[in-house]
Structures are given as C-alpha cells and as structure tokens.
Structure 1
Amino acid sequence: MTAVASRRSERRISPVFLGIVAVMAVTGWAAWTGFAEEPGVAVFLFVTSGWIVSLCLHEYAHARTALHSGDISIGAKGYLTLNPLKYTHALLSIVLPVIFVIMGGIGLPGGAVFIERSRIRGRWKHSLISAAGPLTNVLFALVCTAPFWLHALDGVPPAFQYALAFLALLQVTAAILNFLPVPGLDGYGVIEPWLSYGVRRQVEPFAPFGLLAVFAVLWIPSVNQVFFDAIYSILGGLGIDDVQRYCGQNLYRFWEGVDQYCTVSR
C-alpha cells in the first residue's frame, strides 16, 4: 500500500460512525413525523445517538488538531475515522457518558485519544489541542439551539423541539465540565503548558481522580443547584425555555412515565 493510500484509509470515515449517524437521522425523522407510537422511544434513540455522534466529534477535534500540530502518529491509531471503538478508553469515551445521560441527564466529559505530546512544539498548540474537544460541544450546542435563538420553530413538531432542547443541555453541560481547570479534564490541559514544571509534577498524580472529584462536588445539593442554574441560564439565553427543557428530559426518560403535557402540541 502506498503512503497516499495509507493516509486515505486512516482518514476514511468509519462505517460504525456512519451507522450511528444513520440511527440519529432515522429516529430524528421518527420524532419529527410522529411515526413512532411512543414518542419517548424516538426521542431517546435520537438524543442518545446524537450524543454519541458529538462524543466522536469531540475526540476527532482533539486528534485532528494534534495532527496539524505535529503528532503524525494520530492517523495510524484510527482516531481520524470517527470510529468510537478506536479510542484508547472506549469505556470512558462512550459507555460511561451514555450511562450518565440515561441515569442523570448530564453530559459527562469523555476521553480519550492518546496524543504523543513530545512530538508537539509550542505551548499554544498544546492548549489548542485540549480546547478543541469542548469547543466542538459548544458548536454542537449552537447548532441544536439554532431554531430557538433564530425564532425558527414554526412547523417544528414539539417532540423534535424537546429532543433538541435536551441534546443541547447535554452539550452545554459537557462543555462547561470539560472546561473546568481540573486535572484530568480539558480545561486543565489548556492551562497546563503555561504552568511551571514543578507545579505540573505535583498535580500529575491527581489527574486520574479529577473527574471523580468534580462529580463528588456536584453531589453537594447547593453546588448542584448553582451548577444547573447556570446551565439553565445559558439555555435560556439560547432561546430554550423551562418547558422545552423539562419535556425533553421527560420524553427521553420515557420509562419513568411521560407527562401528558409533553405529548401534546403547544
């Protein structure tokens, strides 16, 4: 295989990713048309597949930025194919984030792609690699909320509005959590290159526990309330009201019983 052919195969979009996108498209159509007898099922599948797509794009953004910053080993690892099965920790990148969405409706930061940082020169490049992932979540949130802040909801069925609202909530929570300057999260990766060597060495042992610490703090009721108040304020600024947000999560968790208000047209 020639070098050119090899590079093309390393960057060819995976059938696995295309399959997930297909599920998102079909279930989005079902939520839009009311084809599914139970709207919650269509919303659940649409949001879950959309969430997985966003996780793949998040990791792709890290990988692609690393490639252009000097880590030419990225392609051989399969990170440019958008295949979630190629991630270093598929459990952390896909399985746990999906479980957290199902259980608690929160966008758990995923990870990770293995980047050979020694190949990359320049602190700005290291920071940009870390920022690229959560910036993808920000972009995804803007796309999901575009019909709301553009006031273009005429003709959009309520169930599809609710699904977009909940998917946007997941993107906003993922972006905020990822940007926290906590060891192990992307936010710390943004500032790490600018810290002294001594500080980085002292902080390094705590990196595997950073995400656990964040969620432990979020279990504190007062902190949890402040966090979600901030999330809801951001969503409100993007045009999503409390009813749309509530009904999105209510339809998503259809097995707990769907509020009848969320199944009728507004």
Structure 2
Amino acid sequence: MTGATGEPVRQQRTTAANRWPSPLFVGLVLTTVVSGWALWTGYGSAGLFAFLFVAAAWVVSLCLHEFAHAVVAFRGGDRSVAERGYLTLDPLKYTHFAYSILLPLLFVLLGGIGLPGGAVFIDRRHLRSRLTNSLVSLAGPLTNIGFAAALAIALAGWGADDVAHIDFWAAVAFLTFLQVTAAVLNSLPVPGLDGFGVIQPYLSNKVLRKVAPIAPYAVLILFVMLFIPPVNRAFFSIVVWFLELLGVPGWLADFGQTLFRFWLG
C-alpha cells in the first residue's frame, strides 16, 4: 500500500530500473561474442579481433567485479548501491570512466597487467557486521578468480588439442592471464585495494590512523614498484604459478598477448 502521493511506488520503480543490465554492458557482451566468433571461424584479421575480444571481455570482467561488490553490499544492508546504478553493470557508473575503464585498458596494452578498475561507493554504516564488510571487499577478487577458473576449464575441456582454433584459444589464455594478475594484485593488503578492505574492519583505530597518511598514495607506490625488476619478477612468478595451477599453458597466453598487440608487428 502507498500514500496518496504514490512516492513509494516511484521509488520502487526507480530501484527496479537500476537493476537491469545497461545497454552499454549488453553491447560489450555482444562485442565479445561477435569478435570471439570471428576468431573461432578465422574471419578477418586475427589480431584485430583478438584485441576486440580481450578488450571487451576485460571491461565486462571489470563490470562484474564491481557488480559483485555492489550486490554483496546490497544484500548486506546498503540499499544506496541500487540508487547509484551499481547493479546495472554500467561501466560509466563505476566512479570515473577514465580511471576505472581507460586506465586499466591502458595498463593491459602497455604491460599486460590486469589493473583493478573502478570502485563502488559503499555506505558501510548500513552493513550488518564486520564480516559483511570483509565479504563486500572479497567479492571483487573472487569474481576475477571465478572468471579465470571458468576460462581455464573451457581451455582444458575444449582447447587443449584444438589446433584449428588456436587464435581463439590463445586470446582466451591471455584473458585468463589478465584475470589472474587482477586477482593477485587486488588481493594484496595495500590501502586502496580489496585485500586491505578485507582486513580493514578488524584493524584497530590506532593502526588505521597510522595508515591514513599513506593510503591515498599506496596504490601508486605499488605500481611504481612493479616496474622494479626484482619486484616485477616476483609478482609475475606468482601469476605464472597460478596459471600453471589452472593448467593454462604460458606459451599460449604469450601468443594471445602477441595477437592482442597486433599493431606491434
């Protein structure tokens, strides 16, 4: 039942509308499917379609990552995520388009690192417990892990000996590599990353006060450190270990990256 103004009905309709996938997200999914089909059938330029396939699928995974944060927060008591449009899977809703989408894509282009993308603003005052707070942060990396596992299963089940569609499976392998890098990187207990968000509810105010001055710069410092050779080698050795655990051939991921960066040659 509603009052004479019908305001609750309008609010319910607005909330319901904010839970449908956005046309932009649907377009990204269609781009992934069509470019994947082109790779599978050998239509056109393998490099161009590998680029479109990986880039579109990567942005889809960024949307799913942030959606996972939002849906767990919504279930945990924060209804504001629906009002902000976070449940629509619209990449434009996740903070800032340049920092959330374009910058991660740039990192993929330059170094093959799955940079964590956007962020959703969670009103943690409404979350029911410290455990819920931790689960909200954990949901993102788990999405990347699930994405990587699904791709690895597809590779193991259908792509292992499928030489006829090697370009397609190489792109899938490189996409799996990106998901693993994102999961490993975002799980680090560094302020600004989800790994820190998991433990933050259990840290004392004293510790949080000490961390606060460096928190705005922590992620930037981390990325600078990744260009230091020993740190870079250590990070990618962990990534390669996880890839081997998933059964993804490193050479196939490398070939996928070569196809993805087709403009280099």
Under a length normalisation based on structure 2, what TM-score does the superposition of the two structures give?
0.93
For residue 92 of structure 1, report the CA deviation from its aligned partner.
2.2
Alpha-carbon distance between aligned partners in 1 of 2:109 and 2:250, rounded to the nearest angstrom: 20
Contact preservation (8 Å) 2:78, 2:126: yes
Aligned sequence identity (%)? 50
1:123 to 115, 124, 130: 130
Kindly report the root-mean-square deviation, in angstroms, between the aligned alpha carbons of the 2 structures.
Answer: 1.4
Alpha-carbon distance between aligned partners in 1 of 2:258 and 2:240, rounded to the nearest angstrom: 16
Partner of 2:149: 142
- What amino acid is aligned across from residue 11 of structure 1 in structure 2? R
Partner of 1:245: 253
- What amino acid is aligned across from residue 199 of structure 1 in structure 2? V
- What amino acid is aligned across from residue 21 of structure 2 in structure 1? I
Partner of 1:255: 263
1:30 aligns with 2:38: yes
| Residues 79-121 of structure 1 deviation map (CA, whole Å, 9 limit, x = unaligned) | 0000011122222221110111011111001131111111113
- What amino acid is aligned across from residue 127 of structure 2 in structure 1? I
1:79 aligns with 2:80: no
Partner of 2:6: none
Partner of 1:263: none
| Residues 176-196 of structure 1 deviation map (CA, whole Å, 9 limit, x = unaligned) | 010000011100000000000
For residue 232 of structure 1, report the CA deviation from its aligned partner.
1.3
1:195 to 196, 203, 208: 203
Alpha-carbon distance between aligned partners in 1 of 2:101 and 2:214, rounded to the nearest angstrom: 23
Alpha-carbon distance between aligned partners in 2 of 1:210 and 1:146, rounded to the nearest angstrom: 35
1:13 aligns with 2:21: yes
How do 1:1-266 residues align onto structure 2 when only pairs under 5 Å count?
Answer: 1-36=9-44, 38-150=45-157, 153-155=160-162, 157-257=165-265
For residue 152 of structure 1, report the CA deviation from its aligned partner.
5.1
Contact preservation (8 Å) 1:148, 1:238: no
Contact preservation (8 Å) 1:105, 1:170: yes
Contact preservation (8 Å) 1:92, 1:112: no
Counterpart secondary structure, 1:92: helix
Mean CA deviation greater in 239-248 or 162-171: 239-248
Displacement over 6 Å in runs of 4+: none
* Counterparts in 2 of 1:152 and 1:105: CA distance versus 1, 3 Å: closer
Counterpart secondary structure, 2:160: coil
- What amino acid is aligned across from residue 125 of structure 2 in structure 1? S
Task: Identify unmatched segments of 5+ residues in structure 1.
Answer: 258-266
- What amino acid is aligned across from residue 146 of structure 1 in structure 2? I
Task: Identify unmatched segments of 5+ residues in structure 2.
Answer: 1-8
Mean CA deviation greater in 219-228 or 174-183: 219-228
Contact preservation (8 Å) 2:159, 2:169: no
Alpha-carbon distance between aligned partners in 2 of 1:137 and 1:148, rounded to the nearest angstrom: 16
Number of residue pairs the alignment of both structures matches: 256
For residue 217 of structure 1, report the CA deviation from its aligned partner.
1.4
- What amino acid is aligned across from residue 142 of structure 1 in structure 2? A
- What amino acid is aligned across from residue 243 of structure 1 in structure 2? W
- What amino acid is aligned across from residue 149 of structure 1 in structure 2? A
| Residues 10-64 of structure 1 deviation map (CA, whole Å, 9 limit, x = unaligned) | 101100100011101100001111111x201010000000000000000000011
Alpha-carbon distance between aligned partners in 2 of 1:95 and 1:112, rounded to the nearest angstrom: 14
* Counterparts in 2 of 1:236 and 1:141: CA distance versus 1, 3 Å: same
For residue 203 of structure 1, report the CA deviation from its aligned partner.
1.0
Counterpart secondary structure, 2:214: helix
For residue 161 of structure 1, report the CA deviation from its aligned partner.
0.8
For residue 147 of structure 1, report the CA deviation from its aligned partner.
2.5
Counterpart secondary structure, 1:157: helix
